[in-house]
Amino acid sequence: MKRLSEKIVIALLFVAILVFLYSVITELFFDSAPSIAVSKNKIGLIEVKGVIIDSEKTVERIQDFQDNSSIQGLIVRINSPGGGVAASQEIYEALQSYRRDTGKPVVASMASVAASGGYYVACGVDTIVANPGTTTGSIGVIMELMDYSVLLQKIGVEVNVVQSGRFKDSGRGSRKLTKDDKAYFQQFIDDAYSQFLDVVADARNMDKSQVKKLADGRVYTGQQALANGLVDKLGTYSDAVNLVARMAGIEDQPVLVRPYVHKRTFFDLLFGDLEDLAQEFTSLPVLRYQLVY
């Protein structure tokens, strides 16, 4: 029995050592941080992928590059159908701040999709490069409210609400929208839409009336977007990288620098705080009022 216990202890120690080594190797070889070397041919890469829900990490990465003097400009790779209004606005503002405070070039490269909130983000750069077949545009705002009041009536469920004002429960799925509710939400949508138009008009040097003709929610190919003045050039990701390099005065081959992203390791799973990890894998909360670009 004693010999068996010793073997178990040795086995556990061996596993712990393997886990530790795995963690160290992962940190050394698979995480990359912006270099602090003096080289002047570096371009920061910002990726905006998927539905734009949270802007915090993207904004932090833009600010990290802003504080790194060896970074000569940014390439913003966008492959997103859009997302939350406020999140899109915050990324846009961070790119504007980077350009204003550093004077360095920022170029957007549109991938398969850069629509709605993805297009809003692109408006924060100096030059927008799209592929001919990129899906872009979709300038507009939408809010989706579910109505399950008829279903509740059929199954005999009644919802009682106590509220402080007549619009506090507007959009609640257990009752139908009233005429006043619809007017209230339409004003809400119209204000966010007007903000979007202002941003596009400023970025594209257009009158707001011109933008409005294009901003009825329709999508455009990259080629159509160029013809309508919504993008600056047609080209690939490589073309966009070379463009920002030329704008930054880089003569050698540009080096793309990814922001530091901590990767979770097996060591984190065994000994780290599992609460944060669990939050990453939970479904996104359903918000009753969610403005979406």
pLDDT, average across residues 113-122: 96
**Ramachandran region of residue 284, left (φ > 0), alpha (ψ -120 to 50) or beta?**
beta
The first and second tokens of residue 52, run together, are 């734009």
CATH of region 37-138+218-260 = 3.90.226.10
Q: Check 7, 49, 168, 263 and give the catalytic one.
A: 168
Residue 46 in this model has a pLDDT that exceeds 90:
yes
How many Cβ atoms from other residues are within 10 Å of residue 62's Cβ? Answer: 23
Q: How far apart are CA 133 and CA 100, in angstroms?
A: 31
Residue 170 in this model has a pLDDT that exceeds 70:
yes
Q: Is 70 a catalytic residue?
A: no
Matching residue, tokens 């999508």: 219
What pLDDT does 15 receive?
A: 61
What pLDDT does 286 receive?
A: 37
Largest CA distance in the chain: 85
Considering only residues 209 and 280, tell me which one the structure prediction assigns the higher pLDDT: 209
What pLDDT does 179 receive?
A: 92
What pLDDT does 18 receive?
A: 61
Question: Average per-residue pLDDT in the chain?
Answer: 82
Q: Check 55, 109, 116, 170 and give the catalytic one.
A: 116
Q: How far apart are CA 181 and CA 169, in angstroms?
A: 9
pLDDT, one tens digit per residue, over 233-242 is 999 999 999 9
114: β partners: 80, 136
How many Cβ atoms from other residues are within 10 Å of residue 1's Cβ? Answer: 5
Considering only residues 150 and 121, tell me which one the structure prediction assigns the higher pLDDT: 121
Q: Is 52 helix (H, G, I), strand (E, B) or coil?
A: strand
The first and second tokens of residue 114, run together, are 């850069």
Report the share of the chain in percent with pLDDT over 70.
75
What pLDDT does 287 receive?
A: 40
- Of the pLDDT bands very low, low, confident and very high (cuts 50, 70, 90), residue 30 is very low
Q: How far apart are CA 278 and CA 276, in angstroms?
A: 5
Q: Is 182 a catalytic residue?
A: no
What pLDDT does 151 receive?
A: 87
Among 25-29, 41-45, 106-110, 251-255, top mean pLDDT goes to 106-110
- Of the pLDDT bands very low, low, confident and very high (cuts 50, 70, 90), residue 174 is confident
- Of the pLDDT bands very low, low, confident and very high (cuts 50, 70, 90), residue 221 is very high
